[in-house]
Amino acid sequence: MPEKKKILLVGESWISSASHAKGFDQFFTTTAHNGAVNFLKAMRDTPYEVIHMPSEVAQSQFPATVEELGGYAAIILSDIGANTLLIHPDTWLHSKVFPNRLKVVAEYVKNGGAIMMVGGYLSFQGVNGQARYRNTPIEKLLPVSCLPYDDRQETPEGSVVSVVEAGHPVIAGLPAAWPPLLGYNEVVLHPDATLVATVGEDNHPLIAARDMGNARSLVWTSDMSAHWMPDDYLAWPGYKTLWLNCLDWLTTRS
């Protein structure tokens, strides 16, 4: 049996806090959330071993050298802002010099790696511009460019998905009808990229791919899970196939 390709999924976790008032009394709670559960479940029993590094772990443990990343066939950044990778605790707490891990990821990709960015409140430019991937080494490798401001398109009424490049491998075997999405990050297509699918009334990029010869990059500009991706996608016959197609294309070299 061939060895599984290792995929590093970074992000897709958050911690929320709440204040509860009951008459005179008040108390606080915190809840940890993992948005990758359904994706990880779908990737079981496939040619891929997905290692999930939650956001709160990534700040200190995301690899700081190209050699450490070399064992992964692809990296997926999903709903994790650039600051988490830029600002290591050694720098933040102790004012120590530390490698710029955005540059490390870029070097990994240029050396034959692959990268995918999945949308969310802390992807691309993100909510209030806080994801801040614009003008970073990672943005320069993506098939899209980030806007200089909050790039969210909230569409609670549902946004229709339209396939543009039906012959692209990422679309292979998918049903003709796609469920609507509840939002996405607005981005601008890179001139060297292939637009595979669009979303919304203005046909903004949803799936875009960029083949750089020995390296590849891909984006899905909506969520991997709640809240922009409704439960209809989990029941959609194409859910698992879509992600498998993405990984297959990312890890294949022409």
Residue 1 is predicted with a pLDDT of: 66
Q: Is the pLDDT of residue 5 over 90?
A: yes
Task: Characterize 25-63 residue by residue with b for buried, 16 or more Cβ atoms within 10 angstroms of its Cβ, and e for exposed.
Answer: eeeeeeeeeebbebbeebbeebebebebbbbeebbeebb
SS3 59: helix
- The rounded distance, in Å, linking the Cα atoms of 194 and 208 is 6
Inform me whether the pLDDT recorded for 254 exceeds 70. Answer: no
Q: Is residue 206 within 8 Å of residue 197, measured between CB atoms? A: yes
Q: Does residue 253 surpass a pLDDT of 90? A: no
The mean pLDDT of 203-225, rounded to a whole number, is 96
Q: What is the pLDDT of residue 112?
A: 95
Rounded CA-CA distance 215/203 in Å is: 27
Distances, alpha carbon 2 to alpha carbons 46, 47, 48, in Å:
11, 8, 11
Secondary structure (H, E, C), 188-224? EECCCCEEEEEECCCCEEEEEEEECCCCEEEEECCCC
Asked if the model's pLDDT at residue 37 lies above 70, the reply is yes
Query: If we measure between CA atoms, which residue out of 109, 39, 117 comes closest to residue 69?
Result: 109
- Kindly state the percentage of the chain with pLDDT values over 70: 99
The residue-averaged pLDDT of 57-69 equals 97
In angstroms, the Cα distances linking 138 to 18, 81, 154 are 34, 12, 25
Q: What is the pTM of this model?
A: 0.96
**Residue 141: both structure tokens together:** 């490798």
Contact 241, 137 (CB under 8 A): no
Kindly indicate the confidence band of residue 117, based on its pLDDT and cuts at 50, 70 and 90: very high
Residue 183's Cβ-count burial label (10 Å; 0-12, 13-18, 19+) is buried
> What is the rounded average pLDDT of the residues 43-59?
97
